[in-house]
């Protein structure tokens, strides 16, 4: 009768078998502690990253809120300074007076192209 050669996987398993089963209680304990420690380190590392990320997100939220507030203040400031009320008050403070229609001379220049307002690009 011909004896068949064991397949490679079985051979390897047989080679490993003694190692796996020869670990003693001390070794097992050390391995367990190491494994648990590793898991704990990994967990703490993840937690630390999460906390850092949370802090970073919170900081960015606060920064976004501060920037939004600053943006609204600047929009308000621009709106205020563009307001005719503000411009007229400043013109008056600079000593300018409203034009007297009776002293204004209107000159008509045929075919003159009008100049678009400087802030035309700001029109919504």
Q: Which residues bind another protein (CB under 8 A)?
A: 50-51, 53-54, 57-58, 61, 65, 68-69, 72-73, 75-76, 78-80, 82-86, 88, 101, 104-106, 108, 114, 117, 119, 122-124
When the beta carbons of 20 and 106 are compared against another protein, the nearer one is 106
When the beta carbons of 30 and 78 are compared against another protein, the nearer one is 78
HEC assignment per residue over the chain: CCCCCCCHHHHHHHHHHHHHHCCCHHHHHHHHHHHHHHHHHHHHHHHHHHHHHHHHHHHHHHHHHHHHHHHHHHHHHHHHHHCHHHHHHHHHHCCCCCCCHHHCCCCCCCCCCCCCCCCHHHCC
When the beta carbons of 31 and 89 are compared against another protein, the nearer one is 89
């Amino acid at each position: 009768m011909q004896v068949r050669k064991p397949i490679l996987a079985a051979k390897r398993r047989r080679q490993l078998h003694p190692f796996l089963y020869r670990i003693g209680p001390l070794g097992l304990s050390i391995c367990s502690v190491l494994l648990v420690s590793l898991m704990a380190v990994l967990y703490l590392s993840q937690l630390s990253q999460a906390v850092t990320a949370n802090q970073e997100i919170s900081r960015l939220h606060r920064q976004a809120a501060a920037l939004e507030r600053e943006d609204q203040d600047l929009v308000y400031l621009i709106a205020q300074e563009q307001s005719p009320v503000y411009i007229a008050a400043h013109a008056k403070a600079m000593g300018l007076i409203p034009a007297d229609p009776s002293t204004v001379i209107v000159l008509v220049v045929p075919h003159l192209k009008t100049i678009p307002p400087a802030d035309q690009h700001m029109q919504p």
